[in-house]
Amino acid sequence: MKINPNKSKALSFVRAQVKDPLNCSLGDQKIPEASCCKYLGIIIRSNLSWADQVNYTVQEAWRALHFVMHIVKKENKNMKSLAYVTSMYHS
């Protein structure tokens, strides 16, 4: 497996009072330190706060809801009935 240092970030999970800068490198390239990163679809913050992940999830849910509302608004009565019945079986 090849690791691309340009796409890598160093993340430290330590208390703010004891924080020293990280000196991570891969070969001769320094890996920049970050306060948060996205890994396997989860946003991880160095202070272990879930706020970024929660905000991202809520934003995606609103985006999906608005898409469905837009589609249902434009469709005819049969499509609205199908969307309603389908939502009842999936809840």
Where helices occur in 18-76 by DSSP H, the ranges are 51-74
* Per-residue pLDDT, 75: 67
How far is the C-alpha of 58 from the C-alpha of 38, rounded, in Å? Answer: 16
* Per-residue pLDDT, 25: 85
Please count the residues of the chain. 91
* Per-residue pLDDT, 73: 75
* Per-residue pLDDT, 24: 85
Entry pTM? 0.59
* Per-residue pLDDT, 88: 61
pLDDT values of the chain reduced to their tens digit, one per residue, 91 residues: 788 878 888 888 865 555 667 788 888 888 888 888 998 989 999 888 999 999 999 999 998 888 878 777 776 777 777 776 776 665 5
* Per-residue pLDDT, 19: 62
